[in-house]
Structure 1
Amino acid sequence: MSEENIPSTRGAVDLSALAHHSPQATGTTDSAAASWTTSLDEASFEQFVGLSQSVPAIVSLGSPRVQVSADLDAVLRRLVDAKNGKFVLGVVDAETYPQIAQAFQAQQIPMVVALVKGQPVPLFQGPAAEEQIVQLLGQLEQLAVQQGLGGTVPPLSGTAGNTEPELPPLHQKAVDAIDAGDYAAAEAAYLEALNEKPNDHDAQVGVYQVRLLSRTQNLDLNTSRELAAQNPQEIAAQLDVADLDLIGGHVEDAFARLVSLISKLADDDRERVRRRLIELYAVVGNNDPRVAASRQKLARVLF
């Protein structure tokens, strides 16, 4: 996911030329099963772009005649449908509808782009491992929340028979607060859940995620980077860029920045940065290989 699109969703690609019809989406899966995946043509594009005002709308530009594209679309369809409406997926035959591919300035297929409030957020080009796609969807979900798109939409075809498990009341309260952009209330709900159940891992991670969203909601990426570059010893500036890097998908960069900073600090300052790094580890997921690699580097710095 390109850093220039995070956290801002301003983009240079003009999609208005395609958005001038009143289409009907065409489902691509069995009508008996709920699906948030649809085939797109030029007539159905406007409606699909409109969905990006509610949830991230992912566009896969490829060709069913290219095996890499077909395999990728199958993985994307499964992962998107498993989210039960947090995303929608539009599959485009770029050879049949080249105008759509041109609107995204596609240089090769397959190419996958997300739309957030109508603006493009590039994800990747070429084949991608399922693990990479899962990580990108997680980052896209965080961006959606930051942009106020934390809800779901009804299936594009079929009937929603498999809904997500009901959240504990305090967790649902936190999610509702996040959807409303009230990060303080969300943190309070997660902290209350932790008070009731100190080993509630999901609530603890929720606290860290909400704090990350709250810290970055008013930050400008370019300003923050410039400030950090001009003040390499300024802890707050380095922490801000690490937060923005994480949300932007530059996970290794975020970790490396903080490990390097820790190596130059002592006492309370070192502990302050170490605690922030531990929080970011939890947000990414302690089983993530990037976390494991960074922990090894951190250990060498600390010991």
Structure 2
Amino acid sequence: MSGAVDLTALKERADAQRAAAQNARPAPRPAAPEAGAPTQPSAGGPAVIDVTDATFEADVIERSTRQLVIVDLWATWCGPCKQLSPILESLAAGANGSWVLAKVDVDANPGIAQAFRAQSIPMVIAIAQGQPVTAFQGVQPAGQVAAWIDDILAKVGHTFTGADFPADEPVIDERMAAADQLMNDGDFAGALEAYKAIAADEPTNTEAASLVRNLEFMLRASAHDPSIVDTAAPGDVDAQLAAADVLLANQQPEAAFDRIIALVKVTAGDDRTKARTRLLELFELFDPAEPFVITARRKLASALY
């Protein structure tokens, strides 16, 4: 391979995303409360809250260290959502503060839906200690939903602030820690396989899924000759996509996106679908609120329609 892309910048991107995700992982458990202190969250807060992309960190991630959070992904046009949401709201109202229902309109808050990689709605995700515990999609009977939540509380209820457990006992995800170590050691291929296995076993583990996307891009981009940016023929779809990878790896996302959008404009059929799909994959490497991502999405929409 002649003149492969330098992995340094790519590793820094993956490391930064991994570090940010690790900060959201469960922290060491606090000391046990004094005798007579409550062991369950209080019922003082609302049973149902509306969550946005902007409030997700505080209303879901931070809150889930104190209380089980059940996230309901819904939309106004979704018929099944209209059947499931009242069930969840009724159960939350009768839960006496043991958990809170966080409702997310996916049309108004695409970042949250993207984070959970929601393929269909309604989708319901249980969050505890900053991490997804389990999830389901589609309408379920009230009794089945209630049993699902009760089972989760039985497993994780003791982990919330105020519960009775030993002091300073850290909660460690050993599989993620092992994959992180492979990453630290520079074994990117091994880390990718480890994160893929975790993501396959835990569909709601958004951290593992995100790291899979980053590492897949890292390894693909590193295999390209940087000169492809200048030598790719205008009609060569694969070469143009490789050139976009190189530009993105070199911290030029706007140029990378524009390259693929230009390809979308002049292609059709399978080639156009291939270019569009690759661009959407690259968008997922960034915060959806980044201005250059928003701009590129608008350009893509114009190119398509």
Task: Give the TM-score of the pair, scaled to structure 1.
Answer: 0.42
Larger radius of gyration: 2
Task: Give the TM-score of the pair, scaled to structure 2.
Answer: 0.42
